[in-house]
A and B are shown apart, each in its own frame.
Chain A
Amino acid sequence: DAGVIQSPRHEVTEMGQEVTLRCKPISGHNSLFWYRQTMMRGLELLIYFNNNVPIDDSGMPEDRFSAKMPNASFSTLKIQPSEPRDSAVYFCASSLTTSGSVDTQYFGPGTRLTVL
């Protein structure tokens, strides 16, 4: 298996522009997570999907952030409009969740976002 795939690996954009990050989870996994990593806050959970349904989006910073999972093999995280403070590394992870218990998470390589 190729593991969790994220694209793009790097994104540089200007403030106010829309940014879309993409993720393909591991086949057969039923849970998908979007994380943001910064020096100050470490790894923060933004949103968690189970069986393509958003379960917990309490970590989404504000209305500028939105995430979708139209099917079991694809998810997007969109920032519109982007701001310099959104600069971070964004990770997607997937896992197999049974009876509500999250098994080991497998992370993608991340997207390094820089907003100028």
Chain B
Amino acid sequence: DQQVKQNSPSLSVQEGRISILNCDYTNSMFDYFLWYKKYPAEGPTFLISISSIKDKNEDGRFTVFLNKSAKHLSLHIVPSQPGDSAVYFCAARGRRGSYIPTFGRGTSLIVHP
């Protein structure tokens, strides 16, 4: 039973356009959400996070939006660049019980020049 779902295995975007990566979760105890980026032959690296007390967090070209009522978050990349081509993992963790993040299966983003 997947508690963190990334339903789009891949996304293709033109350079300069917006990339929107989506993530849904089922566990209402999750209160902290993270996005990791992974290049081929490398490990995932932390990109951006958001706490459940916020609905938006921005870091340069990257913005994460959280909709708690819908149990949905999204990562926006504007403008997209070819170097953003990677696999993006959504992760979530709770405030009690297990604090270990649960990861989604990832979305492969390809940004075409």
Contact = CB atoms under 8 A, between A and B. Distances in A.
A107 B44 contact: yes
Contacts of A107: 36, 43-45
B92 to A, nearest CB: 12
A35 to B, nearest CB: 8
Interface residues of A, number: 22
Interface in A18-59: 33, 35, 41-43, 45, 48, 56
Given A102-B99, A105-B101, A43 B43 contact: no
A71 interface: no
Nearest to A38: B105
Nearest to A91: B43
A45 B100 contact: yes
Nearest to B44: A107
Nearest to B102: A45
Contact of B44 (A43, A45, A56, A102): A43
A93 interface: yes
Interface string B5-32: 0000000000000000000000000000
Contact of B43 (A100, A101, A110): A110
B106 to A, nearest CB: 6
A4 B49 CA distance: 21
B34 A100 contact: no
Interface string B59-94: 000000000000000000000000000000100010
20 contacts: A35-B103, A42-B89, A42-B104, A42-B106, A43-B44, A43-B103, A43-B106, A45-B102, A45-B103, A56-B100, A91-B44, A93-B43, A102-B101, A104-B34, A106-B45, A107-B36, A107-B45, A108-B43, A109-B41, A109-B43
